Structure 1
Amino acid sequence: MTEQVDVDLARTLYRDMARARRLDQEALALARQGQLGLWLQSWGQEAAQVGSMRALDANDWVFPSYREHAAALTRGITPAELLSQWRGSTHAGWDPATYCFHFYSLVLGTQTLHATGYAMGTKLDGGNQIVVTYFGDGAASQGDVNEAFNWAAARSLPVLFVCQNNQWAISTPTELQFGAPLHQRAAGFGLRSFVVDGNDVLAVHAVTREAAEVVRSGQGPAFVEAVTFRMGGHSTADDPARYRDPADVEAWAARDPLLRLRAVLHSEEAFFSDLDAEIDAFGAEVRAACHGLGECDLDEVFGYTYAEPHPSLAVERAARLASLT
């Protein structure tokens, strides 16, 4: 028997992915125009992010890396909040507590330790809230990530690790990164492990929902490896044509997560017509949000470096103010 597709869910997932794709396109153009200092695209990885995010509860805490724009939009973070850090207008664009979504971490893999520590506190507090952290296959080679696996498993913490295996750690392919699949490595630490086609948003949603329930029910941490592909460069400072075979890119383009879900929703003509207009308006919103961002107030550096006032920092702040007069 063929399982019926939840059409309402499929529409929601497609809309989320389409918004993320348009954000990426606009941000890339803005970066090329000098409006953003840097941008790291989630192009090609929308299904891995949207499908997993929509399987979570609203109060589950999320610790992203630096490419989780689709996940952030799904949680309600605005384009202005997302772009502000990349424009240099602020050090972190949003209040994590508002969205239960931590701000981006640019240090590779460190967010997995943050998530594990937060999950320790969540376990002590009780309740059924879980903690989710996103990272890539390259980050999985970092010591921080493996330490997080071990600590989470040893303490049976309510944390779900979601690895977007996009095949490349900047210019290093997966075959040069590790000798066994990532989900097998996670299982070796004692995590309940899953692997899923990361370009099938419905499959990602179903697998993440099952993995989240394992964690939420007190069975310890879990790991989801979503096998996907980074369609763009590592960042706007990277030229992937120097190290990737165009045939591989073409093959993965045929597995585009939006095209695959659109084929499922092929009869929803009115939905796509309305959505096209909405996405065009969203693109204009993204551009306006970027241009409306102000300059960074460097006084924030002194206000947030230490939790309490610090004598040395006070001297430095006074010196800066003197230099402005």
Structure 2
Amino acid sequence: MKRFASITLRLLISGVLLVLLFREHDLFADIAPRFHSLLTNWHWTLAGMGFAFLSLFLASVRWHIILRGLVPSLPFPMVLQAELISAFFNISSVGVVGGDTYKIMALSRRLPGQTMPVSVSLVLDHLTGLISVAILFTACMLARSSQWNEIGYDMRMLITGYAMYVGGALVGLVISWFSFTPSLLAWGRRTFPRTMGNPKLTGLIARLTQVHAVFALLWRRTISAMAVSTAMHAAFFVSFYCGLRAVGGAAPVLDVLTSMPIVDAAASLPVSISGLGVRERTFEALLAGLAQVPEAVGVSASLAGWIFSLFWGVVGGILFLRAKHAAHIAPEAQCA
């Protein structure tokens, strides 16, 4: 019942946000005509689709780097296929099966007994993503630091709030790293036996301790994954810049790269379906504030960038259906 209520609420929020957007910017007069430009500016459309695929490919490389430290024999094509299919679930999911859930299920089926390493590798995968986004955002802010006073007050507050959020997350990671060292945990069990012995807390500590141990074992691979992750996020963000150019808009690429970490964080909040509505409103506000891009153009560009990712999600869906069909045929062939 709770899951159904959550899904219904997210559908409602996405629907309301899109209706408000299309009332403010008429769908047929302001938005739809710009999508004809996707064909006119076909080179930007193809570039956007290419960067969207590059981001998925680099995401596979990032995850494979970490996984190979735990499962050395794991072939890359298997990871790439799981990443593509997970893109389908990330876009189509309404809260039941997400991309991470599918990746754990897919690799666990092909690697019996490796469910825990796969799960831990995904935690590390996301942590490297957080750090790489922080690196990319910091680089963009330093590159445009001379223009800080030219940004409006509201925009400065939004950017500062996001910087505090990311900075707090990184500080939390550092504290967690030291908190889950074996010596400190042993001290905690001796000093606070009742608290540390709580069943719920014990399970959480056990999982975080495993992540700590894996990171300590694979720290070189994790650093390599961070470098790949930075390129992955840059490719994903550039796909939205291509979307902006494809719908006939224009803005400095640095402004788009500065905006996208905030847009991506807003779209990742579990309040809508696939970030629809939230992404468009945030992208619209940031590009209007940073580069004076007309609001209707910002909404169109955000939808175009989402469509580029949607295309590869559809490709992942086709791969998923083919894999299910092949798995269904195999037992029948054996019976024959």
Q: Which has the higher helix share?
A: 2
TM-score category (smaller protein):
under 0.3
Q: Which has the higher strand share?
A: 1
TM-score, structure 1 normalization:
0.27
Whose RCO is larger (CA < 8 A, sep 6+)? 2
Task: Point out the structure with max Rg over C-alpha.
Answer: 2
TM-score, structure 2 normalization:
0.26
